[in-house]
Structure 1
Amino acid sequence: MPQITVDHSAQLTDAFDRRGFALALNPLVVEVAAAKIENCKIVFRPADETVVGDAADGHAVVHVTIGLLAGRTEETKARLTEGALDLVRQFLKAPTGLALHVSAETRDLDDSYRKYEEE
């Protein structure tokens, strides 16, 4: 924990500094949500196809999902979500003529969440 997933339209791959975003988001999660930096894990998933409304093209999507163990206040989750959106603005330079749809959410992980690590 935290488990962070960033889904994005594939056409943003070259325009999105994913490593820079991750290296900025992890300390934010530590600061806002009292997580440990070594537990922050981010997976980026480019989507080959995204559709917005009835548009054939010209749109791109980014959605950040931050999963935390239960116990954070709604204010804490909102601060983290807003911070993630601000970082997307900093690390994504959308190509001209592309309508960008960016969203984020911070949610509690289900009580069934378990993990193991191997080194």
Structure 2
Amino acid sequence: MPNITVDYSAAVTHAFDREAFAQALHTALVEIAAAKPEACKTLFRKADETAYGYEDPLEHRHAIVHVALGLLAGRTDDTKARLTEAVLELLRKHIADEGIALHASAEIRDLDPSYRKFDRE
């Protein structure tokens, strides 16, 4: 915990500094949500195909980025709202404007009580 998944359109692959984004996001999680640095992990998933409205997907004029964060229960709604705002600000900072309309979103969900994990080192 926290489990972070970032889905993004291939159209922003070159513009998205994923390494810097993840590092800044992990710092924000520690500062805002009291996460432990060693517990932060982010999975990036590039989507080769995305669609926006009625646009021809081959035109690549729009890109979608969605960040989903799974946290152990107990954070206040205010903490979650501050964290999602921080995520959106970090996306603005770490995805260069290359003339593509960017549609970014973030959500936080509480992990189910059945959540378990293991680490192999």
Tell me the TM-score normalized by structure 1: 0.96
Gaps of 5+ in 2: none
Question: How far apart, in 2, do the equivalents of 1:94 and 1:116 lie?
Answer: 39
Question: How far apart, in 1, do the equivalents of 2:104 and 2:113 lie?
Answer: 28
Aligned length: 118
1:1-119 to 2 correspondence within 5 Å?
A: 1-56=1-56, 57=59, 58-96=61-99, 98-119=100-121
Q: What one-letter code is carried by the residue in structure 2 that aligns with 1:3?
A: N
Gaps of 5+ in 1: none
Q: Percent identity?
A: 59
Q: What one-letter code is carried by the residue in structure 2 that aligns with 1:53?
A: G
- Note the C-alpha offset of 1:94: 3.2
- Note the C-alpha offset of 1:4: 0.4
Question: After superposition, what is the alpha-carbon deviation per residue over 1:49-68, rounded to whole angstroms, capped at 9, x for unaligned?
Answer: 01011111311000011110
Secondary structure at the residue paired with 1:14? coil
Secondary structure at the residue paired with 2:21? helix
Question: After superposition, what is the alpha-carbon deviation per residue over 1:30-74, rounded to whole angstroms, capped at 9, x for unaligned?
Answer: 111111000000001000001011111311000011110001001
Q: CA RMSD in A?
A: 0.8
Q: What one-letter code is carried by the residue in structure 1 that aligns with 2:26?
A: N
Question: How far apart, in 2, do the equivalents of 1:108 and 1:80 lie?
Answer: 13
Secondary structure at the residue paired with 1:88? helix
- Note the C-alpha offset of 1:85: 0.3
Q: What one-letter code is carried by the residue in structure 1 that aligns with 2:22?
A: A
CA contact (8 A) 1:12 1:94 kept: no
Q: What one-letter code is carried by the residue in structure 2 that aligns with 1:80?
A: L
Tell me the TM-score normalized by structure 2: 0.94
Question: How far apart, in 2, do the equivalents of 1:94 and 1:3 lie?
Answer: 27
Q: What one-letter code is carried by the residue in structure 1 that aligns with 2:24?
A: A
Moved over 6 A (4+): none
